[in-house]
Structure 1
Amino acid sequence: MGTTFARRLRYASAAALLIASATALSTVTATAPAHATTAGTVLFYDDFNGTSIDTTKWFPGLHQVSTSSSDNGVIPENLSVHTVDDNGTSIGVLDAVANGDQYDDSQPGAVKGVHKIAGCTPIGDPSCYTRLNTGQRTGGLVWTNQRFGPARYEIRMKNLPLNGGCSCIWNYYENGSDYTEIDSEMPAHGNGTGSDWSNWAGFNTYTAPDDAHATYMNTNLGAAQNDGNFHTYRWDWYDGTEGNGAKRIEFYVDGVLKATSTTNIPTLPAQLWVGNWPAPWSGNFAYASQHQYIDWVKITSLGSTTSGGGDTTPPTAPTSLASSTHTSSTIDLSWGASTDNVGVTGYTIYNGSSVLATVNGTTTSTQLTGLSASTAYNLTVKASDAAGNFSAASNAITVTTNSSSGGGGGDKVVNGDFETASFSPWTCTGQVSVVAGQGVGGSYAAQLTPSGTVTSKCTQTITGLTPGATYALSARLRVTGTEWIYAGDIVGGTQTEKGTNATSYTTVTVPAFTAPSNGTAQVYISAWMQQTGATYADDVTLQ
């Protein structure tokens, strides 16, 4: 696992960087049933209304989540249970402290961080860690003693107020080729130092610990998550078994659907981890200490329509599915609302039997994006309720996307081949240079050399795109060792990227996007921190 993740530190998601398998986690007890027959059955609940952590439910975390020397671990000393004020009401919380670079190690009772001893198991065993002389860059988290399968996971918490520390919820299990990971991370990786870092969340799903088996969704939530209020984060994990709904994971914030993953959906039960850790990519750690408050954690069954008990009545089928317009990569849809004996919670849009998108139960229109040009889509919609009951399909319609316009006007990137021997008009950070003798078609290429703490990145703002036209970013990329280098774009708050660790130039093409109404997008090349060695980019194009 360590070898794989030395090449995958770009994302450095919390569970993905664990050093040993979850079967080696301290205090693992029996696995909870993967499915309960009745929707809404509470499988796990803790409201932290005592005076200490309930160790029959939780293991107070002791671990170094990543292999970075700037990650000084999560430690039990940063955890406590007490009451706080919540808009005039006293509530019990799990207080997970994060210590930054201004933490005073000389104060009485100062905590000390840990680094993990390579190869030592189990996770959490004190003999597998070396205590440090500093408590700076330490966090606090807990993980459940039990493993839980597909269900509804909900956590009400108040995030860390400052950047420098990841407020995270994830589950994790690894045993040989078996792998489960689902993440909700605030801030999203790559956005920890941006001006709007607190708006971004990373929603990720994995079936194996590598990019090929991962779905990353960096999502702009449109509002700060460090506003001093408690927020409820939830994911609904459907594994596609009979009666459990189409295979997907839906991510919600304060009851609003924010993202849906329909690829790389795990099926194996896993332990739930909640808290914060000193992710090197999460900000600048310019503080002494800050607090994350976790009000309650609940896991409930989504149920099965094939077993007795609970709500087994499906919603009525949506009506009058229609498309008002379409482009080469988008289709606009609308339909008539379904009804349900309890309430409609979502709609799922299908192309044949494949899920294209999901929306919440109050929405009766959507735009499908990222579609292929000149392609016929056979579309239907089904409604669902909280018990996992799905309606019959709506009427079917077939919509054929337009042929690709290629955006028009040729390549939109200026100096994408770097043959000017400069970066102009790119804006760059970190250690970067334009070097001769490394180009593909010409002489010059961009050299990006990251360090353990600094990302090397060059960005260019593209204007004058044709609204509604389809564009795709491509670049020739290579590395010199085990590094990774990425090309990506940011369009209307959505960030998409693709990378390689090939040591010879490889053409990487980022999934196409539809130009927004303002005709503006950002493109970038990047070699992320937590790795060292030269990487190269050439022939960056957008057309």
Structure 2
Amino acid sequence: MKRIISIMLSGAMLLSVAPYPTVAEQEMDVFYDDFSDGRLDSDKWLVAYKNWGGKVTENGVKVDYNGGVIPQNVSIRDGKLILTGNGNLYDGDLRGINKDGSQRSDGKRTGAAIATKEYYASGSYEIMAKISSELGACSAMWTFEYEEDWDTGEIVNHEIDIEMPGRPASENKNQSFQYALCNTWTGENEGEYETGYTDIGVNQADGEFHKYRFDWHTGNNDEDARVEFYFDDVLTYTSTEHIPTNEGRLWLGLWFPNGWAGIPDFETSAFEIDYVKITPFHEKGDTKQNETYPDDGWGNMDDISISDTSNEEDVDPDEAFSISDILLFQKWLLCARDLKLADWNVWNLYDDEWLDVFDIVHMKRRLINLIDKHCCLK
């Protein structure tokens, strides 16, 4: 259960904001995670360790283009999910994975991805995120359900994507973060998917957090089957073709497509996610998942990186970060006579080897970010 953050405004008014869904939302099976517990919840998430994205020819030999997605590139930091991508210039210690499961000789073009443990069908899927600003790496949210018929060779691929960068048309050129690919799939063959080359109208790689959402309708008495794509709450594209009905897992990832996202000539970049919310619609068109490989391609949660400062900011400590922690830190800096340090946590939050006003500024910014995060969900 998440803590309730108490915030005193103007020294007189106390504001309490609950970061978890209301009772009514919980009864609707709403999924919500803002990563403020400082860890990736293994009851909610799986961390991917697999490879997709096609092959290229090197020295006359077909090899996998990218190094897949690996758990070591997943981290939780300051209440945010960080998915890191290592580009062509990466020369660190991490090693990627090939499609056959073997380890690669380097960590170039390795990304990160997680997926929900549970499957969801029709609903509203929403994240607040800051995408990678580097071409060649794809920041994406997508639902996914995959089936193979070993007798006939038929493949069922029920999928919905928001992928950035996009481009104006099918030709792999003019990639831009003003465009996104808004896709719907029911299979992998021509005529079984639709790609929406979508002009968002605003550069998404501006260093700011934006809201990305799609509303998936499988069909009901009063609803036609469709997927509506929203950018910062603006309906930007609607797909009415090849609408999935099978339940799927929601994926979040930063990965390296073969060519269509540009050339990843950088060292490292990141896709940051502030929160994730799924509100199921439970429409009549929903159908059950029947994945062929539901347990394949998952890594070890112990391999992800955890770096959370919530305990450091809890000066009291009362297991909650609030305005009282800032006031106590200020008293400590002013050498107040009634100050008793016995059970207090005073940390160098600014990481400059000094305890001073910059640590107070860090705490105030952190508190303002928490207020903004939870107020935007109201």
Per the normalisation by structure 1, the TM-score is: 0.43
Give 1:66 deviation, angstroms: 1.8
**Unpaired runs of 5+ in structure 2?**
1-23, 56-63, 150-154, 285-378
Q: Deviations over 1:196-233 (max 9, x none)?
A: 61111000111122221111111111111100011111
Alpha-carbon offset, residue 250 of structure 1: 0.4
Match of 1:302 in 2: 281
Q: What one-letter code is carried by the residue in structure 2 that aligns with 1:148?
A: Y
> Is residue 179 of structure 1 aligned with residue 157 of structure 2?
yes
Is the Cα–Cα contact under 8 Å of residues 240 and 247 in structure 1 kept in the other structure? yes
1:279 to 241, 251, 257: 257
**Root-mean-square deviation (Å):** 2.2
Distance change (3 Å), C-alpha of 1:191 and 1:58: farther
Distance 2:277 2:87 in 1: 30
Greater gyration radius: 1
- Cα distance in 1, alignment partners of residues 283 and 191 from structure 2: 31
* AA aligned opposite 1:115: N
SS in 1 for 2:88: coil
More helix per residue: 1 or 2? 2
Partner of 1:60: 47
Distance 1:74 1:191, change over 3 A: farther
Flag the structure with higher strand content: 1
Deviations 1:492-518 (A, max 9, x none): xxxxxxxxxxxxxxxxxxxxxxxxxxx
What secondary structure sits across from 2:135 in the alignment? Answer: coil
Aligned residues: 244
Q: 1:139 to 1:193 in 2, by over 3 A?
A: farther
Segments of structure 1 that go 5 or more residues without pairing to the other structure are: 1-36, 84-91, 118-128, 306-543
What is the one-letter code of the residue matched to 2:73? N
Please say if residues 158 and 226 of structure 1, whose CA atoms lie closer than 8 Å, have aligned partners that are also in contact. Answer: yes
> Is the contact between residue 39 and residue 301 of structure 1 (CA under 8 Å) also seen in structure 2?
no
Task: Say which structure, 1 or 2, has more relative contact order (CA 8 Å, 6+ apart).
Answer: 2
Distance 1:38 1:303, change over 3 A: farther
Which amino acid is the alignment partner of residue 230 of structure 2? Y
What does the per-residue CA deviation read over 1:225-252, in whole Å, with 9 as the maximum and x for residues that have no partner?
A: 1000111111111111335x11111000
Aligned to 2:166: 188
Partner of 1:79: 74
| Structure 1 residue corresponding to 2:217, chosen from 238, 241, 244 | 238
TM-score, structure 2 as length reference: 0.61
Offset at residue 55 of structure 1 (A):
1.4
Aligned to 2:104: 132
Offset at residue 193 of structure 1 (A): 5.4
- Select 2:177's aligned residue among 174, 198, 216: 198
Q: What pairs up with 1:50-449 in 2 under 5 angstroms?
A: 50-68=37-55, 69-83=64-78, 92-105=79-92, 110-117=93-100, 129-175=101-147, 176=149, 178-188=156-166, 194=174, 197-243=176-222, 245-281=223-259, 282-302=261-281
Q: Report if aligned partners of 2:121, 2:280 keep a CA contact under 8 Å in 1.
A: no
Q: How far apart in 1 are the matches of 2:114 and 2:173?
A: 26
Say which SS state the counterpart of residue 114 (structure 1) adopts.
Answer: coil
Q: What residue identity is the alignment partner of 1:59?
A: L
The separation in 2 between residues aligned to 1:47 and 1:38, in whole angstroms, is 16
CA deviation map 1:272-292 (0-9, x unaligned): 110210112212111110111
Q: 2: distance between equivalents of 1:98 and 1:51?
A: 21
The separation in 2 between residues aligned to 1:299 and 1:191, in whole angstroms, is 33
Q: How far off is 1:269 after superposition?
A: 0.3
